[in-house]
Amino acid sequence: MNANFLQTPIEYLKGVGPNRANLLKSELGIHTFQDLLNLFPNRYLDRTQFYKIGQLQRTNAEVQITGKITHFKTVEQKRGKRLVATFRDDTGVMELVWFRGQKWIREQLKLNVPYVIFGKTNFYNGTFSMPHPEMELQKDHEKSLRSAMQAVYPSTEKLANSGVTNRVINTLMQELFMASKNRFSETLSESIRNSLKLLSKSEALFNIHFPTSQEKLARSQYRLKFEELFYIQLQLIRKNLVHKAKIKGYPFKEIGKNFNTFYTKHLPFELTNAQKRVVKEIRNDLGSNAQMNRLLQGDVGSGKTIVALLSILIALDNGFQACLMAPTEILSVQHYNGLVELCKPLNTSIKLLTGSTKASERRKIHESLQNGSLDVLIGTHALLEDKVKFSNLGLAIIDEQHRFGVAQRSKLWHKNEYPPHVLVMTATPIPRTLAMSVYGDLDISVIDELPPGRKDINTVHRFDANRLKVFRFIRDEISKGRQVYMVYPLIQESEALDYKDLMDGYESVVREFPQPEYQISILHGKMKPADKEFEMDRFVRGETQIMVATTVIEVGVNVPNASVMIIESAERFGLSQLHQLRGRVGRGAEQSFCILMTSHKLSADAKTRLETMTRTSDGFEIAEVDLKLRGPGDIMGTQQSGVLNLRIADIIKDSEILKIARSYAIQVLKDDPVLRKPENKTIQNTFAQLTKYKNIWNYIS
C-alpha cells in the first residue's frame, strides 16, 4: 500500500464526514488514515461464545445471545418512558431495555427475525434484562469482518456522548481495511522476520484489529511491539554512530605524569574491579578520534569521584583543561574540597566558581582560565555564563545530569573549537530498560560494586508511636561519638496534610536534646547560601551532633562520622529519594542505620516503597521497582519522557522485547552502518520516512 493512501485526510473515509472528522482529530489525534490504522485496541472482548437464555447466571457479565424479538411495549416511569422488547430463544425469554432513542430503535428493529445481541445482563424480579444491547442481524453478523475477539478502542466522554461509540470506530476500521484491501508495505527485512518467525506487516495489522484467534493476536502484538522498539533503538544507536563519525574529539594519546604518579603513588585505596573496568572504557574513548559521550552510573558511595579525577588527569596529561559541573552549591563545594585534597601531591591548579563567588575572585578565575594557567574549574551553572572562556577545554564532567537541560549542556560544547569530551555522572541508578531507551545514544558505564569494607546500612521502618525508643537509640549513638541526620519532607505545614513541619520537628528535637549537652544544626531551602554553608560546616567539623534538614542534603554531602539517617514521614518520599538519602550515611567504618518513620495510614504504594527499602540496598533493583510504581515519564522528567510516547509497546512490561530489538538494531548497523545493502532496503526506506515524519508510527505502515 503506498504511503500517499495512508496520508489521506480522515474525512475522506466512508462514514466519517466533517463533524466526525473534527471529533476524531480533537479527541484522539486522528487526522489521517494512517492515524486510524495506528489506533490500537486497549483490550478485547471474547465474542467466540454464544449463550442460551436458559444458561444465564446472575453475574452481570457481558454475554452474546442469538434470538428473536417477539414484541415491544413502552413503560411509563418517574422520568420519561422506557422501551422494552421481549427477546426469546428456544430455552427462555428475557427483556431488552432502552431509556433513550426509543422512536428510532422502534423503527429500525424487525420482529421475528434472528438477531445477535451483546451486552451486560441484569437480573430483576425473576427476569434477565439487557439495557442498550449491541444488535446485529444474524445474517450481517456472519458476513462482517468483526471477529471472534472484539477490539475495544480508547475513547473519551465527548466521543461517547456524540455517538462515536466503540461500534462506530470498529465499523470505520472495517471501511479502512476494505479500502486498503489489507495490503500494507512491509517495514522489516526478510532476515529479521524469518529469524524471529514474525507475522507479515499486513497480517499483524489485520489481527490486531480483527483477531481470528488468541494465538494470532499474541503474535500480532509481538510483531508490532518489536517493530516500534526496533526503530527507536535503530534511531538512537545510529545517532551515536553518526556522532562518533562526525563529531571529532581531541585524541588524548598520552597517559602521562599526572595520571601515572597519582595512580601508582597517591591512590588512597585499591580500585574495585568495576572502577578499573570503567576507567579502561573511558581511556579507550579519550584515545579515539571521536568525542566521548559517556554516562557513568554508580550507586551512592560506589566511587565515581575517583574515576572522574583519573579522567581529569588524562586531560591534563594531554595539555587540556577540565571542568566539573554540579547542580547545587553544596555539592560543587564538596567536589572542590575532595579534589583539592586528592591532588595535593600533584601541583594541579583547581578553582571553584559558584553564584556566591566574589567579583574580584571571578575576575582572577576568568583570567587564569583564558591564559591556561588554571587546570580544573569546578562549579555550578555559573560555568555556563558567557564570560567563562577556557583556553582549551578538553573534558567536561556533569554530575547528576538530569538536573540540567539539554540546552544548558550544549553551552559547554561551544566554549571551544572542538566540543570537549563529555562524561555524565549520576548516582540515581537508571533501570536498564529505561537507560536503553532514553540514553540509548550515549555509551553507558556502570560501577556495580561497592568498595570493600563498606558495611550494609541497617534499614528499619518504625511508626510514630515508637518515637521515644528511636530518641533513646539516637542518644546511644551520639554517646559513641556518632552524628545523626533527621530529614523532613516540608518546610511549612500545608493545611491539607498533617505532616510535621520542619520547625515543629526542630523544636521537639531541641526539647529532647537540650543544650549545652547537644548541639543541633538546621538546614533548609529558604536559607541564604552563606547560612547553609555555615550550618553544614559545623556539622562536617563535628561541632553539632544532629542535622535537622529538608531534602537539601539529598545529593552528595559527605560526613563519614554520620551513622544514623532518620527520615520523617517517609511515606511522602519517592523510592529513589529515600535511597539517595540513605546513601548519606554508611560512609565511614562504623555500622550505619536508616530509620524510616511513618504514620499508621499507608497507601499500597507507600507500603511497597518501605518494604523495598528495608529489603534491599541494591540501587538498580530499587530503580526497577520505582519504574514499575511511577512509570517512565515521571522518572525521566518532562524533557525526556517524550521519547517514550509509545503506541503499543510498554517499556516496563516489554523489557524482554526491548532487549531483543536493541540487539537486532546493533547487529544491522554493525554489518551495514548506512543501510546500503539490498537486504536492508526495506529498513532504509522505513527509516527515511521516520526521519521525514518525526513521529515513529506515522511511517511504520
Domain that holds residue 497: 458-616
Residue 371 sits at the vertex; the CA angle it makes with 369 and 373, to the nearest 5 degrees, is 70
Among the ranges given (390-404, 430-444, 447-461), the one the predictor scored with the smallest mean pLDDT: 430-444
Among the ranges given (92-106, 463-477, 496-510), the one the predictor scored with the smallest mean pLDDT: 496-510
357 and 479: one domain? no
Q: The domain spanning residue 598 has which CATH number?
A: 3.40.50.300
Residue 175 C-alpha cell reads as 471501511
Among the ranges given (124-138, 209-223, 487-501, 583-597), the one the predictor scored with the smallest mean pLDDT: 487-501
Residue 177 C-alpha cell reads as 481495511
Q: Measure the CA–CA gap between 210 and 231, rounded to whole angstroms.
A: 25
176 and 281: one domain? no
Across 233-247, 499-513, 619-633, 676-690, the highest mean pLDDT is recorded for 676-690
Tens digit of each residue's pLDDT (9 = 90 or more) over 210-258 = 988 778 888 999 999 999 999 989 988 888 887 777 777 888 998 989 9
Residue 634 domain-assigned (yes or no): no
466 and 599: one domain? yes
Assess whether the previous peptide bond of 516 is cis (omega < 30° from 0). Answer: yes
Short-list 573, 579, 603, 614, CA closest to 488 = 573
CB neighbours (10 Å) of residue 630? 14
26 and 104: one domain? no
Residue 534 one-letter amino acid: F
Q: Measure the CA–CA gap between 69 and 54, rounded to whole angstroms.
A: 16
25 and 54: one domain? no
471 and 565: one domain? yes
Q: Measure the CA–CA gap between 188 and 700, rounded to whole angstroms.
A: 9
Tens digit of each residue's pLDDT (9 = 90 or more) over 262-271 = 999 998 888 9
Q: The domain spanning residue 74 has which CATH number?
A: 2.40.50.140
Last residue of a domain, one of 616, 646, 668: 616
Residue 620 one-letter amino acid: F
610 and 490: one domain? yes
- Residue 25's pLDDT is 93
Among the ranges given (365-374, 532-541, 547-556), the one the predictor scored with the smallest mean pLDDT: 547-556
If one counts the domains in the chain, the total is: 5
The yes-or-no verdict on residue 492 having pLDDT over 70 is: no
pTM of the predicted model over 0.85: no
CB neighbours (10 Å) of residue 75? 10
589 and 539: one domain? yes
The yes-or-no verdict on residue 373 having pLDDT over 80 is: yes
Mean pLDDT of 638-661: 72
176 and 213: one domain? no
Residue 351 domain-assigned (yes or no): yes
- Residue 529's pLDDT is 77
Pairwise pLDDT comparison (144 vs 16), residue with the higher score: 16
555 and 611: one domain? yes
- Residue 413's pLDDT is 65
Among the ranges given (255-259, 392-396, 481-485, 520-524), the one the predictor scored with the smallest mean pLDDT: 520-524
- Residue 442's pLDDT is 79
The yes-or-no verdict on residue 533 having pLDDT over 90 is: no
Tens digit of each residue's pLDDT (9 = 90 or more) over 100-126 = 888 888 888 899 999 999 888 988 888
Last residue of a domain, one of 616, 650, 673: 616
354 and 465: one domain? no
- Residue 623's pLDDT is 83
Tens digit of each residue's pLDDT (9 = 90 or more) over 162-194 = 888 888 999 999 999 999 988 899 999 999 999
The yes-or-no verdict on residue 429 having pLDDT over 50 is: yes
| Cβ atoms 569, 500 nearer than 8 A | yes
Mean pLDDT of 325-332: 85
The yes-or-no verdict on residue 495 having pLDDT over 60 is: no
> Residue 598: which H helix or E strand, with range?
strand 593-598
* Mean pLDDT, all residues of the chain: 86
Residue 297 domain-assigned (yes or no): no
Residue 648 domain-assigned (yes or no): no
Residue 310 domain-assigned (yes or no): yes
- Residue 499's pLDDT is 42
Q: Measure the CA–CA gap between 145 and 176, rounded to whole angstroms.
A: 12
Last residue of a domain, one of 426, 450, 474: 426
Q: The domain spanning residue 19 has which CATH number?
A: 1.10.150
Residue 633 domain-assigned (yes or no): no
The yes-or-no verdict on residue 700 having pLDDT over 80 is: no
Residue recorded with cell 537508571:
430
Residue 495 domain-assigned (yes or no): yes
Residue 644 domain-assigned (yes or no): no
Among the ranges given (380-389, 415-424, 633-642), the one the predictor scored with the smallest mean pLDDT: 633-642
563 and 691: one domain? no
